[in-house]
Amino acid sequence: MRIEMKYIGVPLGGMTNIRRTVILPEDSTIDALIQSLIDDSPGTSRDNFRSVTYMVNKKNAGVSTILHEGDEVFLLGILGGG
């Protein structure tokens, strides 16, 4: 299935393309999407996603959220702290 993914935030090591189409097997989760991004982006690890907020079709989601054909997934990284 085809998922539209967009990363917004501080650049992650190895992730140079912040908007991309990702092909995943049916019934994949956000966790599977993360693993796909790690596999395709040398220098990126699971630690990079520890503080990321996930949204699917503009609704909050968790790593166990099941994705569907055509979903739009936003990965929102920490932009700053205080």
Alpha helices in the chain (DSSP H): 30-40
Domain-by-domain residue ranges, the chain? 2-76
* Residue 21 CA to its chain's centroid (Å): 11
What tokens appear for 62 in the block?
């968790």
What tokens appear for 22 in the block?
């990702």
Please give the model's pTM, rounded to 2 decimal places.
0.86
pLDDT over 90 at 41, yes or no: no
Residue 49: per-residue pLDDT: 86
The dotted CATH code for 2-76 is 3.10.20.30
Q: pLDDT over 70 for what percent of the chain?
A: 85
